[in-house]
């Protein structure tokens, strides 16, 4: 019979804490890719056996840093792309036709989806969730509408709400 001894600790740990790299988000502990300090027993008995975390070795730490750098590069590229879209949209004014009463009140209202659809029809990649309206537009007129494409990319677009052709 071969007698094997069970490892008594977690690599990279002291008696009071162990460093682990989270493979999945763990509520009240951290997000995927973060290196956190936990009690060795928690790491040894729960996190590691359940595949929620791995030992935070130097190699794993380097891999995480490389991954974070790649994500930053992707994010900055995405922000540059959104900034180009924002610049193009800010120079454009959308016209939306709506049925209105003789005193310029709309029978319905113009909402974010209507503005998004008008911008898409003009070739701008703007989704309804990018449109920031204070409330629905309920009268004919010209409005300055805020667009938030990203935390760091915001712009405005002019929206003309005009009476529908042939109807009042």
Query: What's the CATH number where 41 sits?
Result: 3.40.5.10
pLDDT-derived band at 6 (thresholds 50, 70, 90) equals very low
Has residue 100 been placed in a domain? yes
Has residue 3 been placed in a domain? no
Has residue 168 been placed in a domain? no
Residue 140 near residue 100, CB atoms below 8 Å: yes
Half-sphere exposure of 95 (CA within 13 A, CB side): 5
pLDDT in tens, 108-154: 999 999 999 999 999 999 999 999 998 889 999 999 999 999 999 99
Is the per-residue pLDDT at 98 higher than 50? yes
pLDDT in tens, 12-56: 555 688 899 998 888 999 988 888 999 999 999 999 999 999 888
pLDDT, mean of residues 51-79: 90
Last residue of a domain, one of 33, 50, 83: 83
Has residue 111 been placed in a domain? yes
pLDDT-derived band at 68 (thresholds 50, 70, 90) equals confident
Task: Provide the residue range defining the domain that includes 95.
Answer: 85-163
pLDDT-derived band at 65 (thresholds 50, 70, 90) equals confident
141 to 115, 158, 167: CA distances (angstroms): 14, 10, 16
């Amino acid at each position: 019979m071969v007698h094997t001894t069970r490892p008594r600790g977690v690599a990279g740990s002291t008696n009071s804490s162990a460093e682990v790299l989270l493979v999945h988000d763990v509520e009240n502990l951290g997000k995927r890719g973060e290196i956190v300090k936990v009690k060795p027993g928690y790491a040894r008995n729960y996190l590691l056996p359940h595949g929620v975390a791995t030992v935070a070795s130097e190699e794993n730490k380097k891999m995480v840093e490389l991954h974070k750098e790649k994500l930053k590069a992707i994010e900055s590229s995405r922000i540059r792309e959104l900034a180009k879209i924002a610049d193009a949209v800010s120079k454009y004014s959308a016209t939306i036709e709506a049925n209105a009463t003789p005193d310029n009140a709309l029978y319905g209202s113009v909402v974010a989806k209507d503005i998004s659809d008008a911008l898409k029809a003009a070739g701008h990649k703007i989704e309804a969730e990018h449109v920031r309206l204070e409330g629905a537009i309920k009268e004919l007129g010209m409005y300055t509408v805020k667009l938030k494409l990203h935390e760091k990319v915001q712009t405005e677009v002019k929206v003309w709400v005009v009476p529908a052709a042939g109807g009042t």
